[in-house]
Structures are given as structure tokens and as C-alpha cells.
Chains A and B, each alone.
Chain A
Amino acid sequence: MSSASAAPAPERAVSLVYRLYSYAALLLVGGIVFFPLLAASMGGFKSLGELRTNPFGLPQAWEWQNYWQILSGSDYWRMLANSLAIGLITVFTTLVLGSMTAFALAHARFFGRDMLLNYFLLGLMFPAATAIIPLFLRIRDLGLLDSYFGVALPQVAFGLPMSILLFRKFFRDIPKEIYEAATMDGAGYARAFFVITLPLSRPILATVAIISFVGSWNSYLLPLIMFNDGSKFPWPLGIMNFVSDHSADWQKILAFLTLTILPTVIAFAIAQKHIVSGLTAGAVKG
């Protein structure tokens, strides 16, 4: 396909009619998809009265105070900090445990290895919701309710199967010859892992980190059950609280909402390629 780089064949074949049709379709669907997000962020700049008469247009008078009130208070920042802390604990623990386990399952030879792998993969068959009640009782009995770990550890445990699967596949694809320098006895395994495997594994570490961070950042059911203390709430719980406290004040709710999704939108704009490939990797490679 030497001609492909000069003038890609499929491009040439696209007729003007098809091109017009496809742009029109994309603009229409793109508009429908983007419209709610735009309406929400614009709504945060309006007064309640204007929201009633002009819910979707640009604001006639930009009310910065809706946003300013939230940014100058402490609730918003505390929620984000809580979510960040839970997310970082989840990511760090998942990376450490997932990569070590997957390495042993990929390279060490020992009795029951395949059984152990299948045991972990059982976790892919059912969602956390199915075991949520005993999980709540366990976390309560461990004294971890209202703590970051009470949410982070179950997230790690339920994320382990997928991350072990992804790590193991990556580790197995590293050419065997690279390991030949290190002798593969017990100590050699550990050394090979830290000196050879980990430095080569940045792409898969990034993929697993993205999957577990996004999952943790957006997670709602687990924190809903594990947290009672409002000062510990991650942002999905915090915003649900905010909504019920300000039931009719849509301008405040929309401003708050816009600010809480802003970190996600910014991160997505900056690292779009990595986030897309990370979030679809579990599906495609798993």
C-alpha cells in the first residue's frame, strides 16, 4: 500500500453528496449530544428568572456570582479533595497489587497457577452491586465506614480482575530474551519485575491507572453506602446533597454541576487519546 500514504484510497472515493450528508448528520447528532452540557454551563450564569424565560440561550446578563459563591466556599474544594484522595489510593493500590499478581501469574511456574488466575477472573462475572450488603457489613465490622479506605479497598478488590488481565497480557508479550540476563529463581523473579518489567510497562500502567481513576472519580453506589459523614463525601455524593438542599435553585445547581464536571472535561481535552484508549482497552483486550 505505497500509494496509501500519498493519497489514501478511501478518501478519493468519497463523493460530495456523501460528504455533505455525513457533515449534516454529524452536526445534528453532535448538537444533540453537546446541547445539554452547554445549556447546563450557560444556566449557571443566569438568574433564576432568566432561566425561566431563556433556559438555553446565552445569558443576557452574566451572573458570575453563582460560580464565585461556590469557588470561594470550602464545600466544593473539600469534595474534590475527597474524590482525589480516594482516587489516588485506589489507583496506587490497584497498580501495585495488580501488577505484582499479574507478573507472578505470567512468569512464575507453580502449582495451581491457572486455577488461581481463574479464581481472580471470577470477579469479572458479577458487579459489586450483587455483594454490596455483605460488603457493607464487612467494612462496618472492620471499622472503615466513613474512611477513604472503606471505599478505596472494595474498588481495588473489584478492579483487580480486569487489571490483572490487562497486566498479564502485557507482561506475556515482553520478549522472553530480555529476562535471560536475570536468573529466574525466586529472588530473580522479584528483581526481574522491578528492574526489567516495570520500566517497560509504562503504557499498561497508564491504561490501568486511567481505568481505575475514572471509575473511582465517578463512583456513586459504594460511597453512598459507606459514607455517612458529609465532610468526607466525594463529589458525586456532595452534588446530590447540594441538589436536595437547593431543590428549585437551578442556577446554583447548574453552576455547581458545571464546576464539578470541569476537571473531567479539562482532563479529557488534554489527554483525550489516552483516556479513550484506556477506557476501551478493558473491553477490547480483556
Chain B
Amino acid sequence: MSEFAPSTPAPASSLRRLPKSPSLGATGFLVVFLAPSLVLFTTLVILPMIQAGWYSFFDWNGYGVPENFVGLRNFQQLFGSSVFLTALRNNGLIIAVSVVLQIPLALWLATLVSRRFAGAVFFRAVFFLPFVLADVAAGIIWSFIYDGNYGLVASLGHALGFDPPFLLADKQWAIYAVLVVIVWKYFGFHMMLFIAGLQGISPDYHEAAEIDGASRRQRFLHITLPLLKPTIALSVFFSVLGALQTFDVIMPLTQGGPANSTQSMVSFLYLFGISRMKIGFGSAVGVVLFLMCATFAFAYKKMVLKDE
């Protein structure tokens, strides 16, 4: 403990760079330590959120002050827009795929690589690598893979003798092509959560069950799965919040096209609100997104994550 005492020479020298003790009282300390964060957070997070709510009632191009009050017209337009409804459906689809396909895939792989064996660390790294890469990079790589002239689909077409389709230019299939990229990019993150969860389960349980003659499958269903419930709950939470924000990966792949079939709420916000400087309309999208995120986060924390 003595090594932390302020009387030792090394810490004392670093003290001299601090404001002199008498000038920094309790109030001074609080101001210096709290005010900068408070100002930054309020001006760039909280106020913009409140302003988005305010602007959403106006028709405004962003210059001067908002004057043309239109009530709920922006919201009416929004929910009357078939493009926005497509975007909502796509966000729903991303949530569904994340929860129903991606999480089981991640859990399955986690059970395979959480044991210690030659290559475990290597495989974990390979599976996590896509998560570390930028969405934009992932999108560009996959738009090459999907390219009907050069990519994987083209090669398959040539090999099997059919005309290679352009998946990303196909109104019906493009969104599924985007979903594949999202799963490829994000399953590694969930796998890591599950590995941490699995390693928190004492091997004693498995040993005891094995002695009693439980099969691998029985042990998974009756030991692993129940004990992983908190991790699964957490994983679902991040999947849903992440899915609601999908944007980066869509831009290099399709930019919301073809014929707006792959829009998400945020790409809609960008292309129909920001790009056209329709501040009120775009803010209305932001408000809807905020309400969804906040309602979900609040309800989920109250109902599902309450134990932690």
C-alpha cells in the first residue's frame, strides 16, 4: 500500500503539474471533472435528440429557423410511404434473421471452439475477423462476390452453364444477399459472447452428468442451454438494437436499391431526409427510430434482463 502513498517521489513529481491544492476545492473538483463531459454530451446527444422531436413537426430546409408548422403531416407522409414501409419490413427481416439464424449459428460454433484444442484460437480469430472490419469494406468485398460478371455467382454460372444473375440488381433477391453479408459480418461477435458464457459454466456439471450417462445432446439441452440464458438474452438485445441501425453495409452493396427494395430505416433517413435537406421529414424518421430503440431497450431491460 505504501507504493500508492503520495509521499513517494515519483507520484509527487506528477502532482506538481496539477492545479495547486487550495485553488481546487470540492466544487472546483466537480466542475473540472464533470462539466466538460456534461456540456459535450448535452449539446451533441441530448439536445439534438430533443430538437429532432421539435423539427419533426415542421417543413423546413435547415436554414434560418423552422416556421412552417405542419403538425403530424411528416409522420402521416412517412407511414403512407411504401418505401418507408419496405424499410420497416427489411429491419424486421434483419432482426428475424439475426435472432433465428445468426444466434444459433454463433452458439453452435462457440460450442465447437470453446474447448481447448489445436487450432481453437486460430478458428476463433478467423470467425471474429469480419466483425473487426468496417461494414463498408465488407460490403465492397461482397459486391465483388455477387457481381454477375466477375464474382462467385458468375463462376458458378459458367461452371454449371446458366446465365449468371446479378443478385444485387434483383428486386426480389437483393435483400437476401444483404442479409448474408450481415450474418457473415456479425456472427463472430455473438460467438465471442457465447464463448465467454460457456467458459463460465463449471465443467463439474458436465462431468457429473456424463457419469450419470447423459449424452452430449442431453447435456447441451439440460445444462448448457439453461445456464447460457443470460448470454442469449444479451445477444438478442444487441442483435435487435444493431439491426434497427443497419446502414453502413447497405450503402456499398445496393444503396437501398434496386427500386428501394433494400432500404432500411437509416438508409431511408439518409437518402430521403438528409440528402434532400428535408429536415422535418428526416427528423420524423429519427423520432420513429428513437421510439423503437428506446421502447425496446426499456421493455427488454425490464422484462428480460431484470435478473442482471
Contact = CB atoms under 8 A, between A and B. Distances in A.
A101 B34 contact: yes
Contact of B155 (A56, A243, A250, A261): A56
Contacts of A275: 132
Contacts of A194: 14-15, 18
Interface stretch (B40-48, B77-85, B93-101, B220-228): B40-48
A77 interface: no
A114 B36 CA distance: 18
Main SS class of interface, A: helix
10 contacts: A8-B203, A100-B37, A101-B34, A123-B41, A131-B51, A133-B286, A160-B40, A220-B248, A224-B270, A240-B251
A196 B294 contact: no
A44 to B, nearest CB: 11
A124 B245 CA distance: 13
B141 A36 contact: yes
Interface size class on chain B is: 35 or more
Interface in B245-293: 245, 247-248, 251-252, 266, 269-270, 273-274, 279, 282-283, 286-287, 289-290, 293
A275 B5 CA distance: 33
List of 6 A-B pairs having minimum Cβ-Cβ separation, nearest first: A186-B26, A218-B134, A157-B44, A134-B48, A131-B48, A134-B51
A131 B21 contact: no
A135 B132 contact: no
Most buried by B among A101, A130, A185, A217: A130
A151 to B, nearest CB: 11
Interface stretch (A23-31, A58-66, A67-75, A201-209): A23-31
Contact of B36 (A13, A51, A97): A97
Contacts of A138: 43-44, 47-48
Given A11-B117, A126-B289, A284-B234, 16 more contacts: A25-B112, A29-B109, A33-B129, A33-B184, A39-B144, A43-B144, A100-B36, A125-B298, A138-B47, A189-B29, A190-B32, A195-B6, A214-B132, A218-B134, A240-B252, A253-B140
Contacts of A25: 112
B140 A239 contact: yes
Given A36-B141, A36-B142, A280-B189, A195 B11 contact: yes
Contacts of B30: 104, 108, 110, 186
